[in-house]
Protein backbone atom coordinates (compact mmCIF):
# COMPACT_ATOMS: atom_id res chain seq x y z
CA UNK A 1 0.00 0.00 0.00
CA UNK A 2 1.38 3.40 -0.97
CA UNK A 3 1.87 5.70 1.98
CA UNK A 4 -0.24 8.89 1.98
CA UNK A 5 1.41 12.19 1.16
CA UNK A 6 0.41 14.76 3.75
CA UNK A 7 -0.74 18.26 3.09
CA UNK A 8 1.77 20.42 4.97
CA UNK A 9 0.07 23.54 6.30
CA UNK A 10 2.38 26.35 7.47
CA UNK A 11 1.95 28.26 10.71
CA UNK A 12 0.59 31.28 8.85
CA UNK A 13 -2.34 29.24 7.50
CA UNK A 14 -3.42 26.87 10.28
CA UNK A 15 -3.51 29.55 13.00
CA UNK A 16 -2.48 27.20 15.83
CA UNK A 17 -0.16 28.70 18.45
CA UNK A 18 2.06 26.91 20.96
CA UNK A 19 0.45 29.11 23.62
CA UNK A 20 -2.68 26.95 23.20
CA UNK A 21 -0.79 23.80 24.24
CA UNK A 22 -0.03 22.53 27.71
CA UNK A 23 3.47 23.64 28.82
CA UNK A 24 4.10 20.05 29.91
CA UNK A 25 3.24 18.75 26.44
CA UNK A 26 5.79 21.21 24.98
CA UNK A 27 8.40 19.93 27.47
CA UNK A 28 7.77 16.36 26.33
CA UNK A 29 8.09 17.29 22.67
CA UNK A 30 11.40 19.10 23.16
CA UNK A 31 12.93 16.38 25.32
CA UNK A 32 12.10 13.77 22.68
CA UNK A 33 13.52 16.10 20.00
CA UNK A 34 16.70 16.67 22.02
CA UNK A 35 16.97 12.90 22.46
CA UNK A 36 17.20 12.50 18.70
CA UNK A 37 13.60 11.41 18.06
CA UNK A 38 10.76 12.79 15.95
CA UNK A 39 7.75 13.92 17.99
CA UNK A 40 4.38 15.46 17.14
CA UNK A 41 1.25 16.58 18.93
CA UNK A 42 -1.57 14.60 17.38
CA UNK A 43 -5.30 13.96 17.37
CA UNK A 44 -7.90 15.46 19.64
CA UNK A 45 -5.95 18.45 20.94
CA UNK A 46 -5.28 19.69 17.39
CA UNK A 47 -8.87 18.98 16.31
CA UNK A 48 -10.37 20.79 19.31
CA UNK A 49 -8.19 23.88 18.89
CA UNK A 50 -9.27 24.14 15.25
CA UNK A 51 -12.90 23.92 16.39
CA UNK A 52 -12.42 26.65 18.99
CA UNK A 53 -12.70 24.17 21.88
CA UNK A 54 -10.21 24.26 24.76
CA UNK A 55 -8.38 20.89 24.66
CA UNK A 56 -8.30 18.80 27.83
CA UNK A 57 -5.77 16.16 26.81
CA UNK A 58 -2.53 16.42 24.85
CA UNK A 59 -1.30 13.31 23.06
CA UNK A 60 2.17 12.95 21.59
CA UNK A 61 3.34 10.49 18.95
CA UNK A 62 7.01 9.65 18.37
CA UNK A 63 9.32 7.20 16.61
CA UNK A 64 10.88 6.32 19.98
CA UNK A 65 9.85 2.95 21.40
CA UNK A 66 8.17 2.79 24.83
CA UNK A 67 11.43 1.59 26.38
CA UNK A 68 13.38 4.45 24.81
CA UNK A 69 10.77 6.93 26.06
CA UNK A 70 11.08 5.55 29.57
CA UNK A 71 14.85 6.13 29.54
CA UNK A 72 14.29 9.81 28.75
CA UNK A 73 11.68 10.50 31.46
CA UNK A 74 12.01 9.60 35.12
CA UNK A 75 8.31 10.46 35.56
CA UNK A 76 7.24 7.86 32.96
CA UNK A 77 5.16 4.73 33.40
CA UNK A 78 4.36 2.23 30.66
CA UNK A 79 0.80 0.92 30.38
CA UNK A 80 -1.32 -1.19 28.06
CA UNK A 81 -1.24 -4.68 26.63
CA UNK A 82 -3.09 -4.25 23.34
CA UNK A 83 -0.86 -1.30 22.51
CA UNK A 84 1.97 -0.12 24.77
CA UNK A 85 1.78 3.53 25.78
CA UNK A 86 3.94 5.81 27.88
CA UNK A 87 2.33 8.12 30.43
CA UNK A 88 4.49 11.09 31.43
CA UNK A 89 3.21 12.26 34.80
CA UNK A 90 3.31 15.93 35.81
CA UNK A 91 1.37 16.05 39.08
CA UNK A 92 -2.30 15.73 38.11
CA UNK A 93 -1.62 16.09 34.38
CA UNK A 94 -0.64 13.13 32.23
CA UNK A 95 0.84 13.49 28.75
CA UNK A 96 0.24 10.30 26.78
CA UNK A 97 3.05 9.34 24.40
CA UNK A 98 2.55 6.63 21.78
CA UNK A 99 5.03 5.08 19.41
CA UNK A 100 4.06 5.45 15.75
CA UNK A 101 2.14 2.39 14.64
CA UNK A 102 2.91 0.37 11.55
CA UNK A 103 1.08 -2.03 9.25
CA UNK A 104 0.56 -5.71 10.05
CA UNK A 105 2.41 -8.29 8.04
CA UNK A 106 0.76 -11.35 6.48
CA UNK A 107 3.45 -13.73 7.76
CA UNK A 108 4.32 -14.71 11.32
CA UNK A 109 7.21 -12.25 11.65
CA UNK A 110 5.23 -9.98 13.98
CA UNK A 111 3.31 -12.67 15.85
CA UNK A 112 4.81 -11.56 19.16
CA UNK A 113 3.73 -7.93 18.66
CA UNK A 114 0.50 -8.30 16.69
CA UNK A 115 -2.48 -10.56 17.10
CA UNK A 116 -6.01 -10.47 15.65
CA UNK A 117 -9.11 -12.49 16.56
CA UNK A 118 -11.17 -14.58 14.14
CA UNK A 119 -13.51 -11.56 13.83
CA UNK A 120 -10.70 -9.27 12.69
CA UNK A 121 -10.38 -7.51 16.06
CA UNK A 122 -6.83 -6.48 17.03
CA UNK A 123 -5.92 -8.14 20.32
CA UNK A 124 -2.28 -7.03 20.35
CA UNK A 125 -1.01 -4.11 18.32
CA UNK A 126 2.63 -3.38 19.17
CA UNK A 127 3.74 -2.97 15.56
CA UNK A 128 5.75 0.20 15.06
CA UNK A 129 6.23 2.19 11.87
CA UNK A 130 6.56 5.60 10.21
CA UNK A 131 4.42 8.68 10.62
CA UNK A 132 2.74 7.88 7.29
CA UNK A 133 1.80 4.40 8.49
CA UNK A 134 0.67 5.81 11.85
CA UNK A 135 -1.65 8.23 10.06
CA UNK A 136 -3.27 5.36 8.15
CA UNK A 137 -3.82 3.51 11.42
CA UNK A 138 -5.70 6.45 13.00
CA UNK A 139 -9.46 5.97 13.25
CA UNK A 140 -11.05 9.19 11.93
CA UNK A 141 -9.74 11.77 9.48
CA UNK A 142 -10.17 14.56 12.02
CA UNK A 143 -7.74 12.72 14.34
CA UNK A 144 -4.97 12.30 11.73
CA UNK A 145 -3.54 15.80 12.18
CA UNK A 146 0.09 16.16 13.37
CA UNK A 147 1.69 19.32 14.73
CA UNK A 148 5.48 19.54 14.35
CA UNK A 149 7.52 21.34 16.98
CA UNK A 150 10.41 21.62 14.49
CA UNK A 151 8.82 24.01 12.00
CA UNK A 152 5.36 24.60 13.57
CA UNK A 153 3.62 23.11 10.53
CA UNK A 154 0.48 20.99 10.56
CA UNK A 155 0.54 17.71 8.63
CA UNK A 156 -2.83 16.55 7.34
CA UNK A 157 -2.71 12.97 6.07
CA UNK A 158 -6.40 12.22 5.44
CA UNK A 159 -8.23 15.44 4.68
CA UNK A 160 -8.99 16.09 8.33
CA UNK A 161 -8.91 19.87 8.01
CA UNK A 162 -11.55 19.75 5.26
CA UNK A 163 -13.71 17.38 7.33
CA UNK A 164 -13.44 19.69 10.34
CA UNK A 165 -14.67 22.56 8.19
CA UNK A 166 -17.46 20.35 6.80
CA UNK A 167 -18.23 19.08 10.34
CA UNK A 168 -18.05 15.48 9.18
CA UNK A 169 -16.99 12.31 11.04
CA UNK A 170 -15.35 9.94 8.58
CA UNK A 171 -13.28 6.80 9.10
CA UNK A 172 -9.91 6.37 7.45
CA UNK A 173 -9.97 3.31 5.19
CA UNK A 174 -12.70 0.73 4.69
CA UNK A 175 -15.31 1.23 7.46
CA UNK A 176 -16.20 -2.44 7.90
CA UNK A 177 -12.54 -3.44 8.21
CA UNK A 178 -11.82 -0.63 10.67
CA UNK A 179 -14.85 -1.52 12.82
CA UNK A 180 -13.82 -5.17 12.86
CA UNK A 181 -10.31 -4.17 13.98
CA UNK A 182 -11.80 -2.30 16.92
CA UNK A 183 -15.62 -2.34 17.36
CA UNK A 184 -15.39 0.43 19.97
CA UNK A 185 -14.90 2.78 17.01
CA UNK A 186 -18.66 2.57 16.48
CA UNK A 187 -19.21 4.12 19.92
CA UNK A 188 -16.47 6.67 19.29
CA UNK A 189 -18.12 7.76 16.03
CA UNK A 190 -21.31 8.59 17.92
CA UNK A 191 -19.48 10.27 20.78
CA UNK A 192 -17.45 12.51 18.46
CA UNK A 193 -20.52 13.37 16.39
CA UNK A 194 -22.54 14.55 19.39
CA UNK A 195 -19.63 16.13 21.25
CA UNK A 196 -18.41 18.12 18.25
CA UNK A 197 -21.84 18.78 16.74
CA UNK A 198 -20.88 16.91 13.57
CA UNK A 199 -22.57 14.42 11.28
CA UNK A 200 -21.38 10.87 10.73
CA UNK A 201 -20.55 10.44 7.02
CA UNK A 202 -22.79 7.97 5.18
CA UNK A 203 -20.05 5.37 4.46
CA UNK A 204 -19.00 5.52 8.12
CA UNK A 205 -22.49 5.07 9.60
CA UNK A 206 -23.90 2.53 7.12
CA UNK A 207 -22.22 -0.63 8.53
CA UNK A 208 -22.78 0.16 12.21
CA UNK A 209 -26.14 -1.54 12.70
CA UNK A 210 -25.01 -4.80 11.09
CA UNK A 211 -21.69 -4.84 12.98
CA UNK A 212 -23.10 -3.78 16.38
CA UNK A 213 -22.92 -7.38 17.75
CA UNK A 214 -19.11 -7.17 17.49
CA UNK A 215 -19.20 -5.18 20.74
CA UNK A 216 -19.89 -8.52 22.39
CA UNK A 217 -16.22 -9.41 21.82
CA UNK A 218 -14.93 -6.34 23.69
CA UNK A 219 -13.89 -6.81 27.35
CA UNK A 220 -16.70 -5.68 29.65
CA UNK A 221 -14.28 -3.49 31.66
CA UNK A 222 -13.32 -1.54 28.54
CA UNK A 223 -16.98 -1.04 27.65
CA UNK A 224 -17.58 0.43 31.10
CA UNK A 225 -14.91 3.05 30.40
CA UNK A 226 -16.49 3.81 27.03
CA UNK A 227 -19.99 4.16 28.52
CA UNK A 228 -18.62 6.61 31.08
CA UNK A 229 -17.29 8.77 28.24
CA UNK A 230 -20.68 8.60 26.53
CA UNK A 231 -22.72 9.34 29.65
CA UNK A 232 -20.54 11.98 31.33
CA UNK A 233 -19.69 14.32 28.46
CA UNK A 234 -22.81 16.49 28.61
CA UNK A 235 -24.35 14.78 25.57
CA UNK A 236 -25.68 11.63 27.23
CA UNK A 237 -29.25 11.99 25.97
CA UNK A 238 -28.14 12.36 22.34
CA UNK A 239 -25.67 9.50 22.72
CA UNK A 240 -28.39 7.27 24.17
CA UNK A 241 -30.79 7.99 21.33
CA UNK A 242 -28.16 7.38 18.66
CA UNK A 243 -26.91 4.19 20.32
CA UNK A 244 -30.45 2.86 20.27
CA UNK A 245 -30.92 3.93 16.65
CA UNK A 246 -27.80 2.05 15.55
CA UNK A 247 -28.41 -1.04 17.71
CA UNK A 248 -25.42 -0.42 19.97
CA UNK A 249 -27.33 0.13 23.22
CA UNK A 250 -28.77 -3.40 22.96
CA UNK A 251 -25.22 -4.78 23.08
CA UNK A 252 -24.41 -2.87 26.26
CA UNK A 253 -27.68 -3.16 28.21
CA UNK A 254 -29.66 -5.96 26.51
CA UNK A 255 -32.19 -6.50 29.31
CA UNK A 256 -33.14 -2.82 29.43
CA UNK A 257 -33.18 -2.46 25.65
CA UNK A 258 -35.63 -5.35 25.41
CA UNK A 259 -37.96 -3.56 27.83
CA UNK A 260 -37.61 -0.22 26.03
CA UNK A 261 -38.36 -1.88 22.69
CA UNK A 262 -41.86 -2.91 23.81
CA UNK A 263 -44.39 -0.53 22.20
CA UNK A 264 -46.45 0.13 25.33
CA UNK A 265 -43.52 1.00 27.60
CA UNK A 266 -43.68 4.78 27.20
CA UNK A 267 -43.03 5.38 30.89
CA UNK A 268 -39.81 3.37 30.86
CA UNK A 269 -38.52 5.21 27.82
CA UNK A 270 -39.39 8.59 29.37
CA UNK A 271 -37.64 7.61 32.60
CA UNK A 272 -34.36 6.69 30.93
CA UNK A 273 -34.36 9.64 28.56
CA UNK A 274 -35.23 12.05 31.37
CA UNK A 275 -32.42 10.61 33.49
CA UNK A 276 -29.93 11.33 30.72
CA UNK A 277 -31.39 14.80 30.13
CA UNK A 278 -31.04 15.59 33.85
CA UNK A 279 -27.47 14.24 33.79
CA UNK A 280 -26.59 16.53 30.90
CA UNK A 281 -28.10 19.52 32.71
CA UNK A 282 -26.05 18.86 35.82
CA UNK A 283 -22.80 18.32 33.93
CA UNK A 284 -23.29 21.42 31.82
CA UNK A 285 -23.96 23.39 35.01
CA UNK A 286 -20.73 22.02 36.56
CA UNK A 287 -22.67 20.03 39.16
CA UNK A 288 -21.60 16.67 40.53
CA UNK A 289 -22.85 13.50 38.86
CA UNK A 290 -22.25 10.01 40.22
CA UNK A 291 -22.10 7.02 37.85
CA UNK A 292 -23.87 5.03 40.59
CA UNK A 293 -27.07 7.00 39.90
CA UNK A 294 -26.84 6.47 36.14
CA UNK A 295 -26.37 2.71 36.43
CA UNK A 296 -29.05 2.51 39.13
CA UNK A 297 -31.49 4.00 36.60
CA UNK A 298 -30.30 1.81 33.71
CA UNK A 299 -30.78 -1.41 35.69
CA UNK A 300 -33.96 -0.40 37.56
CA UNK A 301 -36.52 -1.83 35.14
CA UNK A 302 -34.70 -5.16 34.59
CA UNK A 303 -34.63 -5.50 38.40
CA UNK A 304 -38.36 -4.81 38.68
CA UNK A 305 -39.11 -7.32 35.91
CA UNK A 306 -36.97 -10.04 37.51
CA UNK A 307 -38.39 -9.28 40.95
CA UNK A 308 -41.94 -9.67 39.66
CA UNK A 309 -41.06 -12.98 38.00
CA UNK A 310 -39.56 -14.34 41.23
CA UNK A 311 -42.56 -13.16 43.27
CA UNK A 312 -44.85 -14.93 40.81
CA UNK A 313 -42.98 -18.14 41.64
CA UNK A 314 -43.90 -17.75 45.31
CA UNK A 315 -40.95 -15.82 46.73
CA UNK A 316 -41.81 -13.03 49.19
CA UNK A 317 -41.50 -9.47 47.94
CA UNK A 318 -38.34 -8.51 49.85
CA UNK A 319 -36.38 -11.65 48.96
CA UNK A 320 -37.50 -11.41 45.34
CA UNK A 321 -36.24 -7.84 45.14
CA UNK A 322 -32.87 -8.68 46.72
CA UNK A 323 -32.35 -11.72 44.52
CA UNK A 324 -33.35 -9.74 41.43
CA UNK A 325 -30.65 -7.17 42.20
CA UNK A 326 -27.98 -9.87 42.43
CA UNK A 327 -29.17 -11.55 39.24
CA UNK A 328 -29.33 -8.37 37.15
CA UNK A 329 -25.93 -7.13 38.34
CA UNK A 330 -24.33 -10.47 37.50
CA UNK A 331 -25.91 -10.57 34.04
CA UNK A 332 -25.05 -6.95 33.30
CA UNK A 333 -21.40 -7.52 34.28
CA UNK A 334 -21.08 -9.83 31.26
CA UNK A 335 -21.64 -6.81 29.01
CA UNK A 336 -20.54 -3.74 31.00
CA UNK A 337 -18.39 -4.39 34.06
CA UNK A 338 -19.44 -1.64 36.46
CA UNK A 339 -16.89 -1.42 39.32
CA UNK A 340 -18.02 -2.41 42.79
CA UNK A 341 -17.72 1.15 44.12
CA UNK A 342 -20.56 2.14 41.80
CA UNK A 343 -22.70 -1.00 42.13
CA UNK A 344 -22.63 -0.55 45.92
CA UNK A 345 -23.95 2.98 45.46
CA UNK A 346 -26.64 1.73 43.08
CA UNK A 347 -27.66 -0.94 45.61
CA UNK A 348 -28.12 1.74 48.27
CA UNK A 349 -30.31 3.79 45.93
CA UNK A 350 -32.49 0.73 45.16
CA UNK A 351 -32.74 -0.35 48.81
CA UNK A 352 -33.78 3.13 49.95
CA UNK A 353 -36.63 3.12 47.39
CA UNK A 354 -38.16 0.32 49.47
CA UNK A 355 -37.83 2.27 52.70
CA UNK A 356 -39.02 5.73 51.63
CA UNK A 357 -42.62 5.09 52.72
CA UNK A 358 -41.53 3.85 56.19
CA UNK A 359 -41.44 7.19 58.00
CA UNK A 360 -42.87 6.66 61.50
CA UNK A 361 -40.91 7.28 64.70
CA UNK A 362 -37.24 7.89 64.00
CA UNK A 363 -37.27 6.09 60.64
CA UNK A 364 -37.53 9.19 58.44
CA UNK A 365 -34.77 10.95 60.37
CA UNK A 366 -32.43 7.95 60.28
CA UNK A 367 -33.11 7.34 56.61
CA UNK A 368 -32.33 10.97 55.74
CA UNK A 369 -28.88 10.53 57.30
CA UNK A 370 -27.94 7.69 54.95
CA UNK A 371 -24.98 8.65 52.71
CA UNK A 372 -26.95 7.82 49.54
CA UNK A 373 -30.24 9.30 50.68
CA UNK A 374 -29.97 12.43 48.51
CA UNK A 375 -29.33 10.30 45.41
CA UNK A 376 -32.22 8.01 46.35
CA UNK A 377 -34.51 11.01 46.87
CA UNK A 378 -33.51 12.35 43.45
CA UNK A 379 -34.27 8.89 42.06
CA UNK A 380 -37.79 9.11 43.52
CA UNK A 381 -38.25 12.56 41.98
CA UNK A 382 -37.13 11.14 38.63
CA UNK A 383 -39.77 8.43 38.88
CA UNK A 384 -42.46 11.04 39.50
CA UNK A 385 -41.11 13.42 36.86
CA UNK A 386 -41.31 10.60 34.31
CA UNK A 387 -44.98 9.92 35.07
CA UNK A 388 -45.19 7.59 38.10
CA UNK A 389 -48.12 9.41 39.67
CA UNK A 390 -48.54 6.82 42.43
CA UNK A 391 -45.40 8.24 44.07
CA UNK A 392 -46.33 11.94 43.83
CA UNK A 393 -47.65 12.18 47.38
CA UNK A 394 -44.62 10.41 48.84
CA UNK A 395 -42.22 12.62 46.86
CA UNK A 396 -44.05 15.78 47.97
CA UNK A 397 -43.88 14.62 51.61
CA UNK A 398 -40.12 14.08 51.46
CA UNK A 399 -39.62 17.41 49.69
CA UNK A 400 -41.45 19.22 52.50
CA UNK A 401 -39.63 17.15 55.14
CA UNK A 402 -36.22 18.16 53.82
CA UNK A 403 -37.21 21.85 53.75
CA UNK A 404 -38.39 21.84 57.39
CA UNK A 405 -36.37 22.33 60.54
CA UNK A 406 -36.19 19.59 63.18
CA UNK A 407 -39.41 20.70 64.89
CA UNK A 408 -41.31 20.80 61.62
CA UNK A 409 -39.97 17.37 60.67
CA UNK A 410 -41.19 15.89 63.96
CA UNK A 411 -44.62 17.41 63.40
CA UNK A 412 -44.78 15.91 59.91
CA UNK A 413 -43.96 12.46 61.26
CA UNK A 414 -46.57 12.80 64.05
CA UNK A 415 -49.17 13.89 61.50
CA UNK A 416 -48.69 10.71 59.52
CA UNK A 417 -51.06 9.09 62.04
CA UNK A 418 -52.63 5.89 60.85
CA UNK A 419 -52.52 6.64 57.16
CA UNK A 420 -53.10 3.60 55.05
CA UNK A 421 -50.04 1.89 53.65
CA UNK A 422 -49.30 2.81 50.02
CA UNK A 423 -49.84 0.27 47.32
CA UNK A 424 -46.97 -1.99 46.36
CA UNK A 425 -44.45 -0.10 44.25
CA UNK A 426 -42.49 -2.95 42.75
CA UNK A 427 -44.94 -4.38 40.26
CA UNK A 428 -45.02 -3.90 36.53
CA UNK A 429 -48.37 -2.14 36.37
CA UNK A 430 -48.30 1.04 34.34
CA UNK A 431 -48.27 4.33 36.29
CA UNK A 432 -51.42 6.33 35.92
CA UNK A 433 -51.42 8.72 33.00
CA UNK A 434 -52.62 12.27 33.31
CA UNK A 435 -55.75 12.82 31.22
CA UNK A 436 -55.12 14.54 27.91
CA UNK A 437 -56.40 18.10 27.60
CA UNK A 438 -58.85 18.90 24.84
**Residue 197 annotated as catalytic:** no
Question: Cα separation of 116 and 108, whole Å?
Answer: 12
Q: Tell me which of 57, 266, 357, 378 is the catalytic residue.
A: 57
Radius of gyration of the CA atoms of the chain, in A: 26
CA dist 352 to 57, 192, 238, 321, 390, Å? 39, 37, 30, 12, 17
Question: Cα separation of 402 and 301, whole Å?
Answer: 27
**Residue 134 annotated as catalytic:** no
Residue 143, helix vs strand vs coil: helix
Q: Tell me which of 48, 59, 163, 280 is the catalytic residue.
A: 59
Question: Cα separation of 183 and 246, whole Å?
Answer: 13
**Residue 151 annotated as catalytic:** no
- CA torsion 84-121-47-96 (nearest 10°) is -10
Q: Tell me which of 134, 139, 163, 280 is the catalytic residue.
A: 139
Question: Cα separation of 4 and 136, whole Å?
Answer: 8
Handedness of CA 288, 293, 297, 298 (dihedral sign): positive
Question: Cα separation of 81 and 157, whole Å?
Answer: 27
Question: Cα separation of 328 and 332, whole Å?
Answer: 6
Helix (H) or strand (E) holding 171: none
- Which residues, other chains included, contact 13 with Cβ-Cβ below 8 Å and sequence gap of 6+? none
Question: Cα separation of 171 and 260, whole Å?
Answer: 30
Query: What amino acid positions are annotated as catalytic residues?
Result: 57, 59, 139
Amino acid sequence: MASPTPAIIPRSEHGISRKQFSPNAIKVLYRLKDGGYDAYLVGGCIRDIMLGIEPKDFDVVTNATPEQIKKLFRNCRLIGRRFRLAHIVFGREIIEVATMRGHHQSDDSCATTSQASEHGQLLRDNVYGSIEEDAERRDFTINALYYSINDFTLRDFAGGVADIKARKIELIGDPETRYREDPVRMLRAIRFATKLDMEIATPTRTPIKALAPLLGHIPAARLFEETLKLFLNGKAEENFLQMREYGLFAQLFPALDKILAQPDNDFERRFIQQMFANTDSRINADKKVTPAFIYAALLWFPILAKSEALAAEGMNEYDAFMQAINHVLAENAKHVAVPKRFTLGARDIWHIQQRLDKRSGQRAYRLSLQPRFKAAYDFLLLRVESGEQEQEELAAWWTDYLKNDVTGQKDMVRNLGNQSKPKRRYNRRKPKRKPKED
